[in-house]
């Protein structure tokens, strides 16, 4: 069954030939949904391919498809996008067709014409927790690792160095499994910083994003000598097609099921795919330098994240090179940005450059240095942050599992 994560957009694919059907569905969602994306394909022979590409939560199949076999289409949809919920739009007297659709794997049906309230009520029902047998993937989604995303308001803040050394420290101090993900597709760096030479990268997962499993993901990861696994990014020139938001969500979901920690090197968020990583994050770590241009960009980026609904306490501000001569003090930074600085890392640019050029992280080569100790302290903060995470009650779990309730508004009353 399709599951919605907090902050995730409800994705719906409509398969139908009639413009009126699309307009009717879109109007119903507009009046009741706060965050959705409706895609439409009018040619039934292309429907399965679109489903595999978009990875929708719900597929709506209109019964008016020029004689196309609805039951065959349902089976194709579930084969190409196994986590998808299929609903069929049927004429009121087509009970026989409804029975065949359910037997073929459809979760239910909606009779036409429908009202917005009827349509949304059906969506709530089919996506509610506990509707239908849970698959192994759904059971795995009830638990999972913790996702930490490192980002920055500009280049040159030392974000990647901070992310790599914190990840290695987490693995060494907690003895938990860690995977690093290079999601800075414009300027990937993990292969250089970790001295990795591997031809496999995230693009090897894209064609099968809807059917990922542990074995496939493991075959693409690059092992590091420290015991940490790495999902590399391709050279920018080789990424001919951008990674879609659904693909990013599927990959993150599988990694979270497999590893205790998923640490992402994101860079500057500039598109919806980048925000897919931020949406999934349990913690966002933003690195900033103690200089005015960096602070101006940090303020703009914080405003952007807040406007998208990210909680202030989800974002940790970390000052890198905090002791640089002429730099702005921590107190002034907090006063200017009106946020609390979570951590500081001292300046030792010659040592950091030496570490990057050798491809050997500081916490392995110079663990007694002040910079390495600060990286270790950051990792320990992340570990403590995870350990004090409040466990949800059974009621909260049901609410969290049914993210649709946050996306679909209740019917308006006459006085609304």
Separation CA 89–CA 78 (nearest Å): 17
Lowest mean pLDDT of 151-160, 246-255, 350-359, name the range.
246-255
Confidence of residue 397 (pLDDT cuts 50, 70, 90): very low
pLDDT, residue 94, reads 73
Residue scoring higher pLDDT (95 or 370): 370
Asked whether the predicted pLDDT for residue 344 surpasses 90, the reply is yes
Which CATH fold would you assign to the domain 143-390? Rossmann fold (3.40.50)
Which CATH fold would you assign to the domain 10-138? Rossmann fold (3.40.50)
Interval 63-71 mean pLDDT: 83
pLDDT tens digits, 87-113: 989 887 776 777 788 888 888 888 888
In percent, the amount of the chain with pLDDT more than 70 equals 86
Interval 220-227 mean pLDDT: 96
Q: Residue 181 has which token pair?
A: 């993900």
Tokens 């030392």 -> residue: 158
Lowest mean pLDDT of 73-77, 175-179, 317-321, 342-346, name the range.
73-77
Separation CA 64–CA 79 (nearest Å): 22
Lowest mean pLDDT of 10-14, 208-212, 343-347, 359-363, name the range.
208-212
CB proximity list for 103: less than 8 A, separation 6 or greater: 71
Asked whether the predicted pLDDT for residue 21 surpasses 70, the reply is yes
Cross-strand partners of 90: 111
pTM: 0.70
Confidence of residue 68 (pLDDT cuts 50, 70, 90): confident
Asked whether the predicted pLDDT for residue 379 surpasses 70, the reply is yes
Separation CA 208–CA 213 (nearest Å): 9
Asked whether the predicted pLDDT for residue 229 surpasses 90, the reply is yes
Interval 186-205 mean pLDDT: 94
The reply to whether 143-390 shares the fold of 10-138 is yes
Task: Give, in order, the Cα–Cα distances in Å from 336 to each of 152, 164, 326, 345, 357.
Answer: 17, 29, 17, 19, 35
Asked whether the predicted pLDDT for residue 17 surpasses 80, the reply is yes
Backbone angles phi, psi at 18, to 5 degrees: -95, 130
Q: Residue 325 has which token pair?
A: 């001569």
User: 159-174 vs 349-358: helix axis angle to the nearest 10?
Assistant: 80
Separation CA 253–CA 110 (nearest Å): 30
Confidence of residue 393 (pLDDT cuts 50, 70, 90): very low
Interval 360-365 mean pLDDT: 96
pLDDT tens digits, 280-335: 899 999 999 999 999 999 999 999 999 888 899 999 999 999 999 999 999 999 99
Residue scoring higher pLDDT (173 or 141): 173
pLDDT, residue 8, reads 66
The count of other CB atoms within 10 Å of the CB of residue 336 is 14
Separation CA 202–CA 234 (nearest Å): 7
| CA atoms within 13 A of residue 349's CA, in its CB half-sphere | 8
Domain ranges across the chain:
10-138, 143-390
Residues in the chain: 416
pLDDT, residue 319, reads 98
Asked whether the predicted pLDDT for residue 374 surpasses 90, the reply is yes
Backbone angles phi, psi at 262, to 5 degrees: -120, 110
Interval 222-226 mean pLDDT: 96
Lowest mean pLDDT of 137-141, 189-193, 237-241, 347-351, name the range.
137-141
pLDDT, residue 105, reads 87
């Amino acid at each position: 069954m399709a599951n919605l994560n907090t902050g995730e957009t409800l994705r719906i694919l409509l398969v139908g030939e009639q413009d009126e059907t699309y307009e009717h569905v879109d109007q119903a969602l507009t009046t009741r949904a706060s965050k959705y994306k409706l895609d439409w394909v009018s040619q039934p022979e292309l429907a399965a391919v679109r489903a595999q590409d978009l990875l929708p939560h719900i597929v709506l199949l209109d019964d008016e498809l020029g004689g196309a076999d609805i039951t065959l289409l349902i089976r194709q949809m579930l084969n190409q996008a196994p986590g998808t919920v299929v609903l069929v739009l049927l004429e009121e007297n087509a009970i026989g067709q409804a029975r065949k659709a359910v037997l073929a794997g459809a979760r239910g049906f909606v009779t036409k014409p429908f009202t917005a309230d009827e349509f949304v009520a059906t969506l709530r029902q089919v996506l509610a927790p506990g509707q239908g047998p849970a698959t192994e993937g759904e059971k795995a989604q009830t638990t999972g690792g913790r996702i930490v995303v490192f980002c920055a308001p500009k280049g040159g803040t030392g974000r990647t160095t901070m992310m790599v050394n914190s990840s290695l420290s987490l693995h060494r101090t907690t003895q938990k499994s860690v995977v690093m993900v290079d999601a800075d597709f414009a300027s990937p760096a993990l292969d250089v910083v970790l001295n990795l030479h591997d031809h496999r990268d995230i693009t090897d997962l894209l064609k099968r994003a809807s059917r990922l499993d542990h074995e496939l993901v493991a075959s693409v990861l690059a092992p590091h000598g420290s015991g940490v696994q790495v999902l590399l990014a391709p050279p920018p020139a080789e990424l001919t097609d951008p990674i879609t938001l659904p693909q990013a969500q599927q990959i993150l979901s599988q990694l979270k099921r497999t590893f205790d920690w998923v640490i992402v090197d994101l860079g500057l968020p500039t598109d919806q795919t980048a925000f897919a990583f931020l949406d999934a994050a349990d913690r966002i770590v933003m690195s900033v330098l103690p200089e005015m241009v960096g602070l101006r960009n940090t303020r703009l980026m914080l405003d952007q994240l807040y406007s998208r609904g990210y909680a202030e306490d989800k974002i940790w501000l970390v000052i890198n090179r905090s002791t640089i001569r002429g730099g702005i003090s921590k107190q002034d930074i907090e006063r200017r940005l009106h946020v609390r600085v979570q951590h500081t890392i001292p300046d030792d640019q010659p040592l950091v450059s030496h570490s990057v050029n050798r491809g050997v992280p500081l916490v392995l080569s110079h663990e007694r240095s002040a910079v390495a100790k600060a990286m270790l302290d950051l990792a320990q903060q992340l570990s403590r942050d995870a350990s004090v995470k409040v466990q949800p009650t059974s009621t909260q779990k049901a609410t969290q599992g049914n993210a649709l309730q946050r996306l679909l508004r209740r019917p308006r009353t006459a006085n609304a």
